[in-house]
Amino acid sequence: MLDMKFVRENPDIVKENIKKKFQDAKLPLVDEVIELDKKARALKQEGDDLRSEKNKVSKEIGALMSQGKKEEAEAVKAKVAEIAKRLEEIKNEEPEVQERVTKIMMTIPNIIDPSVPVGKDDTENVEIERFGEPVVPNFEIPYHTEIMEKFNGIDLDAARDVAGNGFYYLMGDIARLHSAVIAYARDFMINRGFTYCVPPFMIRSNVVTGVMSFAEMDAMMYKIEGEDLYLIGTSEHSMIGKFIDKIIDEKELPKTLTSYSPCFRKEKGAHGIEERGVYRIHQFEKQEMIVVCKPEDSKMWFDKLWQNTVDLFRTLDIPVRTLECCSGDLADLKVKSIDVEAWSPRQKKYFEVGSCSNLGDAQARRLKIRIKDENGDKYFAHTLNNTVVAPPRMLIAFLENNLNADGTVNIPEALRPYMGGMEKIQ
């Protein structure tokens, strides 16, 4: 969420930013919210003035009565009553206007970084760099569920009977591989100085609206019926929520956390062969990383975060590339975002396995996460997040890139301690 003062003083910049995100339908909202803000501030000022006048006039009543000026005192009483009536009207009107201001401000997109390429959707994202040499072997690579089934490692039919489409049972060595990847990712991030955390897997609505847009919430979140609780779509939400309404001493920064959680997503509109299997599912597990830092440090942390994911995938012999998200592909709260994509030898292309985002002070402003400097002055923090690893989708890349012609799967050296020393899945 932008600062209202910034919108008021820079409407043209805000409108140009909306155009860059190809959200022209929101352009009228800028002028509308400026007028509503003007009205809200006028109502507040009027209320302050009337309260001051009421206090002043009320004191005259006693003096007039003591002087026997009853008629004049009654006139002043009538004036006080009129002021009280208007104050009651303002009391009811001001929050309504302010609520409309807040609702509109929650839909106006954050100002994107100048380095973000302008484009309409994800087809116009820009490749930045490749890490590792993508290889297409001289044997056919089966669809990932077929690879898993050969190891008796997945049961989609039973999961469909139990929970419906979009769920799975992982079994045996495939289930063990899934857990090994999560454990390895946890230790990988701890070794890079991040504090490990297991957060709540449900969050309240004020945290949900603090970390994402209304459109994202509707498309992603499962609500618990009869409760003010939502199942998390990613642990980033509850991790950032940990600092809601907190004032953090500048000396305590940065806050660098890595978290494990199950994740639950509606995944509306997922279709096609590459959406089957375990590519887009309603439940999965993930290792995440978040940073809360000073504004001047967020660019540096952004580059560190996506590099962590690249480095982890390379230790598992998986070629990856980084992709700069264009303006139209950025969620409204994001300033800048880079996707990490893994190579799929079967598809002969890359596919997304992680996303790194700098949200500037948008989440901090919504959640009131502030920093106090050495002089006692307060300002909003910057927040960032990135996927460390999200199996089982990551398993697709792992199995395809480590599959041998004889159907066995190599276990890279870094992962062997988490697989009981196993060098291959037979």
- Enumerate domains of the chain plus CATH numbers: 4-105 (1.10.287.40), 122-425 (3.30.930.10)
Kindly state the tokens that stand for 43: 């109502």
Kindly state the tokens that stand for 65: 């009565």
Supply the pTM of this predicted model.
0.89
Residue whose entry in the numeric block shows the structure tokens 């979140």? 221
Identity of the amino acid at 154: I
What pLDDT, on a 0 to 100 scale, did the predictor assign at position 271?
A: 47
> At how many degrees (to 10) do helices 11-20 and 27-66 cross?
150
Three-state SS at 19: helix
Distance CA 232, CA 199 (A): 10
What pLDDT, on a 0 to 100 scale, did the predictor assign at position 216?
A: 78
Distance CA 240, CA 260 (A): 14
Beta strands 247-249 and 424-425 are: unpaired
Q: Are 388 and 287 in contact (CB under 8 A)?
A: yes
Kindly state the tokens that stand for 269: 């509109």
What pLDDT, on a 0 to 100 scale, did the predictor assign at position 268?
A: 61
Residue whose entry in the numeric block shows the structure tokens 């690249």? 310
What pLDDT, on a 0 to 100 scale, did the predictor assign at position 126?
A: 97
| Bridge partners for 249 per DSSP | 372
What pLDDT, on a 0 to 100 scale, did the predictor assign at position 275?
A: 53
Please give the biggest Cα pair distance in the chain.
Answer: 109
**Among 111, 330, 368, 335, which residue's Cα sits nearest to residue 215?**
330
Q: Are 202 and 224 in contact (CB under 8 A)?
A: yes
Identity of the amino acid at 29: L
Q: Which H or E element spans position 8?
A: helix 4-9
Task: Going from the first residue of the chain to its last (426 residues), give the mean pLDDT of each consecutive group of 10, the final group possibly shorter.
Answer: 94 98 97 96 92 83 73 80 90 93 94 97 96 95 95 94 92 96 98 97 94 80 94 95 97 97 80 64 94 98 97 96 97 96 96 96 96 96 97 92 96 97 96
What pLDDT, on a 0 to 100 scale, did the predictor assign at position 57?
A: 79
Quick one: how many helices (H) and strands (E) in the chain? 13, 18
What pLDDT, on a 0 to 100 scale, did the predictor assign at position 273?
A: 45
**Is the C-alpha dihedral spanning 261, 354, 358, 99 positive or negative?**
negative
